[in-house]
Amino acid sequence: MSAKPRCAVGVLAAFTAVALAATACGGSDEPAGKDAKNITLTISANSIVGGKSSAGAEWIENWVIPKFVEAQKAKGVTAKVTFVPSGVEDEQYKTKLALDLRSKGGADVIAVDGIWVGEFVQAGYLKPLSEVAGDQVDSWEGWSQIPETVQGLGSFENKRYAIPLGTDGRVLYYNKKLFARAGLPADWQPKSWQEILDAGAKLKALPGVTPIQINAGTAMGEATSMQGALPLLVGAGGEIYKDGKWAGASQPVKDMLDFYTKVYGGGLGDPKLQQEAKGRDKSFAEFAAGKIGILAEGDYFWRSVINPTTGIAKMADRDTAVGYAMIPAKQPGAGIRGQDFVSMSGGGVRALNPNSKFPSQAWELLSFMHSAEAVKAELAGEARITARQDVNKEVLAGDPMLSFITEKGLPVTAYRPPLAVYPQVSVALQEATAEVTAGKSVDEAAAAYQKKVEGIVGGAGNVTS
């Protein structure tokens, strides 16, 4: 529903008033069809000028709104567009969105974490974009620029509910200097898990070097799932959630746990590091210091961790000393969709409020925010992976690593299931990796994991084993 300025803001303390206020919010009294000449729209995001994600808020206020209003004016339409900022913890923002949508209120265009999409759909808060705004959605030029795998970030059960913003990807980083000392190639690209282990065995001969770092255990949190367990799972042809069922002690889960056993039981990784509270940060520092040979991480590691100028674990020689490779499937063709290589991605999306008084125009605003021109304006010269391949080709031309993820990683990537119980299943997965890292057998760890998942998701009928 469109709101008069600030009408739908509803500060956290006033949550209970949202339902009462919902009926009071709205645009003009003019019929709200496609041909309306006076429209009122609102945009909400968890960003605020001078606070959280300030640059995103500035882009909406100073670029999106004036440009969109101007474009509408050229068509003879008077548009009033308001930004409803937030600058709170993600869970608080999520709660506010849910309350707004449940009470048929809230902004017309809403920014949402991709991991919330399925949960919001199941609660009835979101509807497919084409159901809200009609046929114009499917004919949008932008879909042809967003790889189908990336569209998955804003989709649920094969329907599009949102347009993805930026995204990311997971790869294997390796230290070329250590590889040279171990007699390994500078342009390494393993084609199977065994080839990773073989490289690890050669690196093991170097004193003071941990051959492989693949996040394990609960201290690493979601980084264990996203950088380790889930890429391995999809590499074994499995998915954590598929066709309404969660993966239990399935063969792909056992294959994934077996890889952990071979790394940590085979002396190719440092099990103690996985248990430390700051273990992930320590792994970053060790890689930067030339003490880790191979490390599985996202592009964040390249951009923000080992960045020679702004990184938290700077590597002055990053561009020459660090190689990167695709994560291989267990063996060629064994990955999901019959893939030879895999990745995992995350990111935010923007959706339409199904209660919008001006759904057609809300789609015009949403699709405008995701046009090539708008996406480039939002980047403001920064090199970041966007959902649009045309923009990526242009803005990442000078960054071979991010181009590598865009060109090679995104077409084979996968996403976490956007469901409310996923975080609990993820913890169970992390616990299973911790158990095999500590020496428990794969079968024991997989059985314990299956039992936990059955308890989380409502019984064995919802689990594949």
Give the integer Cα–Cα distance in Å for 420 and 403. Answer: 33
Same domain, 341 and 205: yes
Give the integer Cα–Cα distance in Å for 155 and 174. Answer: 33
Judge whether 7 lies within some domain. no
Give the integer Cα–Cα distance in Å for 212 and 209. Answer: 9
Same domain, 210 and 222: yes
Judge whether 27 lies within some domain. no
Same domain, 385 and 444: no
Same domain, 148 and 292: no
Number of domains in the chain: 2
Same domain, 249 and 110: no
Give the integer Cα–Cα distance in Å for 167 and 397. Answer: 17
Same domain, 275 and 306: yes
Q: What pLDDT score does 33 carry?
A: 77
Give the integer Cα–Cα distance in Å for 101 and 132. Answer: 14
Same domain, 300 and 437: yes
Domain boundary among 414, 434, 449: 414
The CATH number assigned to the domain holding 303 equals 3.40.190.10
Judge whether 302 lies within some domain. yes
Which tokens is 207 given? Answer: 């004193």
Q: What pLDDT score does 31 carry?
A: 43
Q: Looking up tokens 């255990």, which residue turns up?
A: 217
Give the integer Cα–Cα distance in Å for 288 and 441. Answer: 33
> Cα-atom radius of gyration of the chain, to the nearest Å?
23
Q: Which domain holds residue 203?
A: 170-345+418-462
Same domain, 256 and 109: no
Which tokens is 59 given? Answer: 């882009």
With contact defined as beta carbons under 8 Å apart, do 252 and 169 qualify?
A: no
Domain boundary among 374, 391, 414: 414
Domain boundary among 414, 429, 449: 414
Judge whether 105 lies within some domain. yes
Q: What pLDDT score does 32 carry?
A: 61
- Residue (of 304, 302, 326, 378) closest to 55 by Cα position: 378
Q: Looking up tokens 């060109």, which residue turns up?
A: 407
DSSP per position, 338-359: G-SEE--B--EEEEE-TT-SSH
pLDDT tens-digit profile, the chain (465 residues) = 333 333 333 333 333 333 333 333 444 444 467 889 999 999 999 999 999 999 999 999 999 999 999 999 999 999 999 999 999 999 999 999 999 999 999 999 999 999 999 999 999 999 999 999 999 999 999 999 999 999 999 999 999 999 999 999 999 999 999 999 999 999 999 999 999 999 999 999 999 999 999 999 999 999 999 999 999 999 999 999 999 999 999 999 999 999 999 999 999 999 999 999 999 999 999 999 999 999 999 999 999 999 999 999 999 999 999 999 999 999 999 999 999 999 999 999 999 999 999 999 999 999 999 999 999 999 998 889 999 999 999 999 999 999 999 999 999 999 999 999 999 999 999 999 999 999 999 999 999 999 999 999 999 999 998
Give the integer Cα–Cα distance in Å for 318 and 143. Answer: 35
- The amino acid that residue 119 corresponds to is E
Same domain, 354 and 264: no
CA triple 293-202-174, angle to 5 deg: 25
- Residue (of 430, 445, 435, 449) closest to 215 by Cα position: 430
* Strand intervals (E) in 128-262: 155-156, 159-160, 162-164, 170-175, 210-213, 241-242, 245-247
Contacts of 72-79 with C-beta under 8 Å, sequence gap 24+, read 72/39, 72/361, 72/364, 76/37, 77/36, 77/37, 77/38, 77/39, 77/361, 78/37, 78/38, 78/39, 79/39, 79/40, 79/41, 79/361
- The amino acid that residue 304 corresponds to is S
Q: Tell me the CB-side half-sphere exposure of residue 160, using CA atoms within 13 A.
A: 22
Judge whether 181 lies within some domain. yes
Residue 168 per-residue DSSP state: -
Residue 351, beta-bridge partner list: 110, 162
Judge whether 29 lies within some domain. no
Residue 249 per-residue DSSP state: S
With contact defined as beta carbons under 8 Å apart, do 296 and 228 qualify?
A: yes
Judge whether 92 lies within some domain. yes
- The amino acid that residue 333 corresponds to is G
Which tokens is 330 given? Answer: 């267990």
Same domain, 226 and 356: no
Give the integer Cα–Cα distance in Å for 244 and 185. Answer: 43
What is the signed CA dihedral for 243, 434, 304, 367, rounded to 10 degrees?
A: 10
- Residue (of 131, 129, 124, 157) closest to 143 by Cα position: 129
Q: Residue 173: helix, strand or coil by DSSP?
A: strand
Sheet containing 210-213: order of strands: 210-213, 292-298, 170-175, 322-325
pLDDT tens for 374-388 read 999 999 988 899 999
With contact defined as beta carbons under 8 Å apart, do 47 and 86 qualify?
A: yes
With contact defined as beta carbons under 8 Å apart, do 8 and 357 qualify?
A: no
Same domain, 449 and 320: yes
Q: What pLDDT score does 14 carry?
A: 34
Residue 173, beta-bridge partner list: 295, 324
Same domain, 226 and 289: yes
Cα–Cα distance list, 185 to 174, 180, 192 (Å) = 11, 7, 16
Judge whether 58 lies within some domain. yes
pLDDT tens for 385-418 read 999 999 999 999 999 999 999 999 999 999 999 9
Q: Looking up tokens 């690593």, which residue turns up?
A: 401
